[in-house]
Structure 1
Amino acid sequence: MSRRIPIVPTIIVIAAALLMVRLGVWQLQRLHEKAALATRYAANVARPPLPLAALFPVSDDALFRRTSAMCLSVVHWSAEAGRTAAGTPGWRHIASCRTGAEGPGFAADMGVSQESSAPAWNGGVVRGRLTWAPNATPLVARLFGAAPASVPMIVGETAAPGLQPSAQPDPAAMPNNHLAYAVQWFLFAGVALVIYALLLWRRTRRARLP
C-alpha cells in the first residue's frame, strides 16, 4: 500500500516554498535599504560641491553630489544610449580620463549627439553630478566571475564641442521595485503549495476509489 503523503516530493516542495519566502523577505529588506539610499541621495543633491579627489575612495554615499575634476587627457571614448537634458535620445559620449597625480582616473559623460563617432575633445575641467559609469560586463560573467570595480563618472554640465549636455542623474528616477518583487516571491510560494496540496488531494482521492 502506497504512503498517503510522499516524503521526498513533500520535502522538496516545502524547501522550495521556504526559499521563495526567504527571497521575498530579502526583497523587503532591499526595499528599506533603497528608501534610505534615496533619502541620502536627495540630501547629496543639495550639498555644496566638492572636488572629486576629496571624495575618494568614492562610495555609494557620495553619488548625485556636484563635483569636479581635471581630465588631463582622454584614454579612450565609448558611446552609450542616452538622452539630453531636454529629453532627446541619442548617443552619449563617455570619456575615460587620466588624472595623473590628482588621483585615480574617472569617466566623464561629455554630452549627447546623433552620431556615435567620438567628439573632438581632449580634456579639461569637468563639472557635474557624480554617478557610476555604465558596466559593460555581461550579467553571466558578473555572476560567475570577479566583478570589475565600479568607475566614478561625472555627468558634465557643459558638453564637449558639437554635443548637447546629457541629462543630469536624478535620485528621484532611481527605480525601487523591490515591493513588487517581494509580492511575486510570496505569490510563487503560495501557488506552489496550493498546487502541491491539490495534487495530494487528487492522489488520495484516486487511492480511495475502487
Structure 2
Amino acid sequence: MVVLPRRWPLLPTLLVALAALAMVGLGIWQLQRHHEKRAVIALLRSNIGKPPVAFPRLGPVPPEMLFRSSSLHCLRVEGWTVEAGKAADGSSGFRSIAHCSTGAEGPGALVQVGIGARPDLRPQWTGGTISGHIVEEPDHRSLLAHLTGPEQVLRPMLVASTSPDPQLKASAPPSIESIPDNHFGYAIQWFLFAGIAVLIYVLALVRREGTRREGRSAGDS
C-alpha cells in the first residue's frame, strides 16, 4: 500500500515544484516556437517561386527574403571558407564560400560558389556577376548556445545556381528540408522531464514515510 507523508517538507517540495514549473514553461515556449517555425517554413516554401530581389547588404535576413532569387557583383575575392556540403547531383563534398568585396566600402558579400571534391581545393574564380538564392551564412553554434547564448546576427549568403568555377560542382539549391523544426520534440521532452522530476520526488517521500512507519512499528513491538 502506498502511503503518502502527512507533512511534506516545505523547502524541498518548493524547489521541486519550481523546477517542474520551469520545465513546463520551457515546454510551452517550445510549442510556441514550433507554431512560429511552421509559419516561417510555409513562407520560405512560397519564396522559392517569387521574382528576384536585390541582395541584402546586412543581416539579419528577414524571412521574406530567404530562398529568394538574387544576384550580385563580386569585385574580387578576398578569401575563402571551406565547409562540408552537398552538390546538386546529391553527392557530398566541400562547399567553397567566397568572401567578396562589392565596393570600396561596406561589408562585402558571401557567395557559396560550388562544391569541391577536396577541402584543400583552391577555386579559380576571382569574381564577377553571379546569381543564385539567398540564405544565411552557416551557423556553428551548439543547441545550448542557441538557447542560452546571446543572439547572433547571421549574414546573408548567395548560393550560386551554377558554379562559375570549372573545378566545382553546382551546389544543392536551398531546401525546406534543411530547416530544422525540432521544437515540438523539445516541448515533449521538457514536459516529460517535469513529470519525471515530480514522480521521483513523490516516490522518494513515499519510501521515506514507509521506512519511518516500519521503524515505529518495530519500536512498538
TM-score by length of 2: 0.85
Give the counterpart letter for 1:7 in structure 2: L
Contact persistence 1:53–1:103 (CA under 8 A): no
Distance 1:204 1:105 in 2: 68
Identity fraction in percent: 44
Contact persistence 1:129–1:169 (CA under 8 A): yes
Deviation at 1:146, TM superposition (A): 5.7
2:178 maps to 1:188: no
1:108-127 superposed matches below 5 A: 108-116=111-119, 117-127=121-131
Q: Give the paired residue count.
A: 209
Which residue of 2 is the match for residue 65 of structure 1?
Answer: 68
Give the counterpart letter for 2:127 in structure 1: G
Deviation at 1:9, TM superposition (A): 1.0
Distance 1:142 1:118 in 2: 33
TM-score by length of 1: 0.89
Contact persistence 1:55–1:62 (CA under 8 A): no
Contact persistence 1:64–1:171 (CA under 8 A): no
Relative to 1, partners in 2 of residues 1:101 and 1:171: Cα closer, same or farther, differing over 3 Å? farther
Which residue of 1 is the match for residue 159 of structure 2?
Answer: 155
- Tell me which structure has the larger Cα radius of gyration: 2
Which runs of no fewer than 5 residues in structure 1 stay unpaired? Answer: none
1:126-165 superposed matches below 5 A: 126-136=130-140, 149-159=153-163, 160-165=165-170
Which runs of no fewer than 5 residues in structure 2 stay unpaired? Answer: 217-221
Which residue of 2 is the match for residue 96 of structure 1?
Answer: 99
Runs of 4+ aligned structure 1 residues displaced above 2 Å come to 53-61, 101-104, 135-149
Distance 2:79 2:113 in 1: 13
Distance 1:9 1:18 in 2: 14
Deviation at 1:203, TM superposition (A): 1.2
Relative to 1, partners in 2 of residues 1:67 and 1:146: Cα closer, same or farther, differing over 3 Å? same
More helix by share: 1
Which residue of 2 is the match for residue 170 of structure 1?
Answer: 175
Which residue of 1 is the match for residue 219 of structure 2?
Answer: none
CA RMSD of aligned residues (A): 2.6
For residue 51 of structure 1, give the secondary structure of its aligned residue in structure 2: coil
